[in-house]
Each structure stands twice: as structure tokens, then as C-alpha cells.
Amino acid sequence: MLFLTGRTPRRATAAALVLIGLLTGHAAAQSMNDVQKIAKDRGLSTADLLAAAKTYTPSGQKDDYIMFSSGGHSGQVFVIGVPSMRHLRTIAVFTPEPWQGWGYGVGEEILEEGYVDGKANLWGDTHHPALSETNGDYDGQFLFINDKINARVAVIDLRDFETKQIIKNPLTVSDHGGTFVTPNTEYVIEGGQYSVPWGFKYAPISEYKERYKGSVTLWKFNRKKGRIMEDESFAIELPPYWQDLADAGKLASDGFIFMNSINTEMATGGIEDKKPPFEAGASCNATDFMHIIDWRKAEEVYKAGKVTRIEGFPVIMLETAIEEGLLHVTPEPRSPHGVDVAPKGDFVVVSGKLDPHVTIYSVKNIKAAIANKTYSGKEPFGIPILDFDSVIEAQVEVGLGPLHTQFGPDGYAYTSLFLDSAVARWTLGGSYGSGTPEPDWTLVHKTPVQYNVGHIGVAEGDTVTPDGTHLISFNKWSVDRFFPTGPLLPQNFQLIDISQQGTEMPVIYDMPIGMGEPHYAQIIKADKLNPWKVYPDIGWDPATMTLDPMAPKAKMERVVRNGNTVEVYMTAIRSHFNPEHVTVKQGDTVIWRITNVERAVDATHGFSIPVYNINLSLEPGETATIEFIADTPGTFPFYCSEFCSALHLEMMGYLLVEPAD
Ligand code: CUK
Ligand code: CUA
């Protein structure tokens, strides 16, 4: 719109211009003067106009990138277009979501897989989404995400953007260092967080050192099946520190997992017994430990059967891991948070929350130290400590409260600064040197953000070839950025243009997130995704990703009684259900199958029954089966809950439940 003059056909006739005006609703004679007038009236600077031009996405134009954001304690995943920052969809994962029918007739079996000891846990605390990778590059096929509160991992299929699997970790009830994937998605990795006894059984806190355990779980992923294979997965026992964030090696560091830890003090909390509270007790040591795990070796050890079954799950015990030389640690600055592997896999960047530096480890040096046993001792559980000085490459002072690091394609790295509320740009050295005008290993610039940034995400940021056009700062607080929505305010996603070198790194968009606290997001090129527009054929069951042989089809609609069981075979099409009346007796078991027989894009029908708490979303071709006991007698108008057609309101029917005598 700003540059309409450039788009108007040069030889447009007056009539055509009038027509354009009528069609677009704009006067044909727009000019930069109009832009200037509006800018003046609204108090917009040139920088604001530039930001608008970089982000404004006209109707019908699509985004270059798609961001998959954790939904925080909403338990879901958000799909957001970049650079427009338009929220495109929420993907229901750990939490029932009525619009998608998730948990209101469908999805129940998958939600049930995530029950903990039989208890319904119908929410999640999602932190770290991970896109599936091929050769270290996002391939656009699957998305994984962890649930920190109950130690669960979910699998989302990006053909239909729906959750297919939720897996509960049998060993622990707290995770954080996940999900992330090995470079060909052989494994989806889930690191624990707060140590608990195996299987989160009871043990007094006084027995912390002896009975509480740390762990990392390697979930084997079967791409063909689109599922995690529980019986090909295993875990590794780690010391009872609080394992924190983690990343998988790639290229130069292929085969490694790098995992931070906090509370290497093994503090057990205080208050009533006058010991220091966790916050202080877990921050005494000047350094904590980064775990360096050789997952290929671990896989061999697992396959050789050198595991102990705990809660029925194979675990490589700490002793074995040490013996087999698959586990080392090295010191890292106090209370580390982020650990991030550079695109070529040759450097690992760690930020200590209480240290103004980022510490850069050299993978070459780590490998040499492992080979030469350059140890500076052993930690309390006997894991060899790689000598700090022999494995580090550099330290760069970036600012206060460094958390997470991302990388550009050109030798720049970016680190979020929680306490400074800023994003730092700094230069890498080594194989990345000379990509930037500035000297190696130096701070270049800090862009202030609003406020309290946690993670940052760069386009294609975790791949071997980051794009480095856009960076998003995932800010925890928005304070004064938006209209105050009561005391509870949205988080703030700020889009930063990082396409220019040096100190030019402006914030160009603020997006409020008023539905949970997202942590991390991954951003993929939109053209790498190829979602289905409609399901492949009529009668498709998204839960199994196959045609359901029992799916109702047109002209085969019926209601069949078999003793106390009533089976309904129903179709939905604009603008009617068939059959329109279903009469059952109180106490009957009702198995209701319904297919949306549409083939038109976006022709979704809903299906809702009052009182019985049922609401489905049936996308074109989709079939669903719901089952319930008709325990409440009465007259229940069911209807389509998606405005699908002019006669949508007429798309209804009656469920009649005759009272038992
Ligand atoms: S954590 Cu939230 S800001 Cu779960 Cu990755 Cu660092
Ligand atoms: Cu179908 Cu409204």
C-alpha cells in the first residue's frame, strides 16, 4: 500500500484506476503525501514506517516463515507467521481445546496416554518445540514438544498439524532439557530437571543424595510410523543435579549431547530447618557441570543389553556410563541456563545466569580432552571432569543475565540478556571469523527489548544453515507495551530485523501473546512445509492417519441397534447431517461415527451435543468415532458448530433419549 505508485500499471486508463479504487476501497490517487500525512497524524517516525513496510503483509500475501512456539502453560503450540506476526493456529497438545474438538469426543485416547499414574493431567507446561531434522536441517515433517510439569513428550504430524502421540516418562515427573533432536531425528531427547527418586516414588528429602536421580531419556523416533517407539528407547542415569537445557551436536559434534546442570550443590531447600532456601543453596558453587554425552556409544551400550530395567524401562546406570566412557562433565559458569551448538557444530555456547559472559567451548578441544583424558578430577559420583582451560575457546562479556544463544549465517551470534532486557549481537571466531566487519569474539551491539527476554529465536536458527533474517525476542513481561488487560498482562514477542550488519538491529514489531507463557519457538521457511489442504480421502482418521474402514459414507447412513448398543453412521455436508434424528433409550451405549464428506478446502463442520460435553471439529474428509452412555434422558438438539454455509443454523438434528421406565 505504501508503494502503490510503484505497482499501478503505467498505462492504466482513468476507468481502470476508478475500478481499482472501487475494488480496493482506496482512492486511486494515493501518493507518498498521503503516507506522510497519516504518519504525521499518528506520530509515526520514518523508522516506524520502515518497520511497517517490513512487516505489513497485505491480504492474501503469505509469510516467508512459520514459527512454532511453545504455548507455555496453555499446554499447546502456537503457529505464527513471520514477519507478519499473525497467529495462524493453536495446535492442541496437552490441553483440551474445544474448537478442535480436542478432548471433547476425539483426542481422548491420546490425552489418556499422557495420564500420570491414571490421573488425568489435562494441561501441560510446554517449553521447547523441536522440528524434525534431516542432515541437521529442518525437514518440515514433525514437531516435538516437552511438558515440563509431568515429564511428557508429544509428537505432532505436520501433514495435518495435529498431535498424534503423548508419551509419559516412566522414570521422572520433571523435564526441561528437551525436546531436541539428533541431526537425523534418530532420537527425540528429553532431559530431566528436578531430581526425584526413580518413578517419582516417595523418599524423604534427607535421602536426597542417595535416592534422588537425574536422567536423560532418548526416545527412538520412527519416521515412517510417525511415532516414538517406547520399546526401542532408553535412558541414562545422571547425578542428582538439576539437569537443565541441552542441545544435540551436529556436523563437527555429531554424536554428542551437551546438557547443563544447576544445583550441583545438591541443595535440598531450607526455611524451617534454617538451611539456605533453594535459590541460595543452589547458587553457591562458582561453577556447575555441563554433561557431555556420547549418544552413539550409549546406543551401543543399550543394544548390548548393559542396562537395568527401572519402572520397566531400560536405564544405563551411572556406573556403566562412566565405565563405558560415554559420559564426561566440564565446569561451566555459575547457574548456567542456555547451551547452544553453533551451526557447524564446532562450538558450544553456554550462558551462566550469574555471569556476564558467554563461555564458548571448542568441540575439537573437548574431543582431544576425552581422548587424552585431560581431567582435572572427578565429580562426587565419579564422572571425569574435562579440564576447563583445555576445552574452552573464548569468553565474551555480553551483559547481565545471559540466557540463550542463537546464530546467524554470517558469524554473528545473539544472546538474550534477561537482566539487561536486551538482545546482544556478538561475533564468533574460529571458522566463522572474517564473516563480519568486527573483530572475533567481541560484543557488537545490544538492542533493548520490552522486557525480560527469555529465549530468542532466529529463522532456521537451530539448523546447520541459519537464515539470519529475523530474530524474535520472547519477552516474559510486556509492562507498558499494550493496553492493560487487568493485572494479568500478555507476554511480548518482539520481531527484530537482523538482516543488516553492525549495530543496525531494530525492533520492528510487537506481538502480544495473551494465552500462556511461551518459552522457545523454532522458525522454519514456509516452503519447507507441505500441509494437506483436505484429508487424502473421505473417511480419514487423523488419529491413525489411515482410512477408517468403519467410516460412514454417503448413502450408507443408518442407525443400528444391537442389544443395548446403538451405532450411528452419520455424514455431514453443507448444510445437513444425515440422519437427523437419533433416538436411543436411557442407559444405551452409543457409538456415534460421523464423516465429513466434503472435498472443498476449509469446509469444516462442527458437531456438538449439549449436556453430553461433545464437540467435534471435522475437517474435509475426516471421520471420528465417539462413544458415550446415554445416561441423561431428554431432548438434545445437536448442531454444527462451524459457520459453514448460508443454512448453517439449519444444520442440526435431535438426539432423543427416552427415559428408562
Ligand atoms: S527455559 Cu523458559 S526461558 Cu524452559 Cu528454555 Cu529459558
Ligand atoms: Cu456445517 Cu455449520
* pLDDT higher than threshold 60 for residue 485: yes
Q: For residues 558 and 22, which has the higher predicted lDDT (pLDDT)?
A: 558
Cell (9 digits) for 45: 517516525
Atom of ligand 2 nearest to the CA of 575: 1
Distance 348 CA to ligand 1 centre (A): 18
- The DSSP bridge pattern shows strands 634-639 and 576-578 to be unpaired
Label residue 348 by pLDDT band (50, 70, 90). Answer: very high
Distance 319 CA to ligand 1 centre (A): 30
| Chain segment 199-250, per-residue pLDDT in tens | 999 999 999 999 999 999 999 999 999 999 999 999 999 999 999 999 999 9
| Chain segment 129-178, per-residue pLDDT in tens | 999 999 999 999 999 999 999 999 999 999 999 999 999 999 999 999 98
Query: DSSP per residue over 269-320, as a string?
Result: --STTSSPPHHHHTT-SSEEEEEEEEHHHHHHHHHTT--EEETTEEEE-HHH
Percent of the chain topping pLDDT 90: 90
Domain contains 293: yes
Whether residues 75 and 152 fall in one domain: yes
Distance 337 CA to ligand 1 centre (A): 8
Whether residues 16 and 91 fall in one domain: no
Distance 606 CA to ligand 2 centre (A): 6
Please say which residue of 502, 528, 554 terminates a domain: 528
In this prediction, residues 465-488 reach a mean pLDDT of: 97
- The DSSP bridge pattern shows strands 327-333 and 287-294 to be antiparallel
User: If DSSP states are collapsed to H, E and C, what string results for 468-494?
Assistant: CCEEEEEECCCCCCCCCCCCCCCEEEE
Query: DSSP per residue over 352-390, as a string?
Result: ETTSSEEEEEEHHHHHHHHHHT-EEEE-TTSPEEEPHHH
* pLDDT higher than threshold 60 for residue 5: no
Atom of ligand 2 nearest to the CA of 642: 2
Residue nearest to atom 4 of ligand 1 (CA): 127
**CA–CA distance, 56 with 66 (Å, rounded to integer):** 15
Domain contains 141: yes
Residue nearest to atom 1 of ligand 1 (CA): 519
* Ligand closest to the CA atom of residue 607: 2
Distance 315 CA to ligand 2 centre (A): 51
Domain of 584?
540-658
Poorest-confidence range of 19-33, 366-380, 612-626, 627-641?
Answer: 19-33
Atom of ligand 2 nearest to the CA of 648: 2
> What's the pLDDT score for residue 484?
98
Residue nearest to atom 2 of ligand 1 (CA): 519
Residue nearest to atom 1 of ligand 2 (CA): 605
Domain contains 553: yes
> Residue with C-alpha cell 480496493?
24
In this prediction, residues 616-629 reach a mean pLDDT of: 97
* CB-based contacts of 565, cutoff 8 Å, min separation 6: 588, 589, 590, 591
Domain contains 382: yes
The CATH number of residue 318's host domain is 2.130.10.10
Label residue 30 by pLDDT band (50, 70, 90). Answer: confident
> What's the pLDDT score for residue 1?
35
* pLDDT higher than threshold 50 for residue 303: yes
Q: What share of the chain is helix, strand, coil (3-state, %, to 5)?
A: 15, 40, 45
Domain contains 3: no
Mean pLDDT (the chain) is: 94
> What's the pLDDT score for residue 272?
76
Domain contains 1: no
Whether residues 207 and 87 fall in one domain: yes
The CATH number of residue 630's host domain is 2.60.40.420
Residue 409 identity (one-letter amino acid)? P
Q: Please, are residues 190 and 175 in contact by the beta-carbon 8 Å criterion?
A: yes
Whether residues 110 and 26 fall in one domain: no
Whether residues 389 and 463 fall in one domain: yes
Q: Which long-range contacts (CB under 8 A, 24 or more apart) does 533-536 make?
A: 533/601, 534/598, 534/599, 534/600, 534/601, 534/619, 534/620, 534/621, 535/160, 535/619, 535/620, 535/621, 535/622, 536/621
Question: Does ligand 1 have an atom closer than 6 angstroms to the CB of 353?
Answer: no
Question: Does ligand 1 have an atom closer than 6 angstroms to the CB of 337?
Answer: yes
Q: Please, are residues 145 and 163 in contact by the beta-carbon 8 Å criterion?
A: no
* pLDDT higher than threshold 60 for residue 626: yes
In this prediction, residues 377-382 reach a mean pLDDT of: 97
* Ligand closest to the CA atom of residue 174: 1
Whether residues 355 and 430 fall in one domain: yes
Instruction: Give, in degrees to the nearest 5, the angle at Cα 277 between 275 and 283.
Output: 105
Whether residues 325 and 229 fall in one domain: yes
Cell (9 digits) for 223: 519416521
| Chain segment 489-548, per-residue pLDDT in tens | 999 999 999 999 999 999 999 999 999 999 999 999 999 999 999 999 999 999 999 999
**CA–CA distance, 58 with 103 (Å, rounded to integer):** 36
> Tell me, what DSSP letter sits at residue 196?
B
* pLDDT higher than threshold 60 for residue 12: no
* pLDDT higher than threshold 80 for residue 478: yes
Domain contains 139: yes
User: What pTM value is reported for the model?
Assistant: 0.94
Residue 203 identity (one-letter amino acid)? A
Please say which residue of 528, 555, 587 terminates a domain: 528
Distance 72 CA to ligand 1 centre (A): 10
> What's the pLDDT score for residue 4?
39
Whether residues 258 and 175 fall in one domain: yes
Whether residues 566 and 459 fall in one domain: no
Domain count, the chain: 3
Please say which residue of 482, 506, 528 terminates a domain: 528
Domain contains 383: yes
Whether residues 384 and 510 fall in one domain: yes
Label residue 434 by pLDDT band (50, 70, 90). Answer: confident
Q: For residues 346 and 265, which has the higher predicted lDDT (pLDDT)?
A: 346
Whether residues 561 and 435 fall in one domain: no
Whether residues 545 and 435 fall in one domain: no
Distance 610 CA to ligand 2 centre (A): 16
| Chain segment 309-331, per-residue pLDDT in tens | 999 999 999 999 999 999 999 99
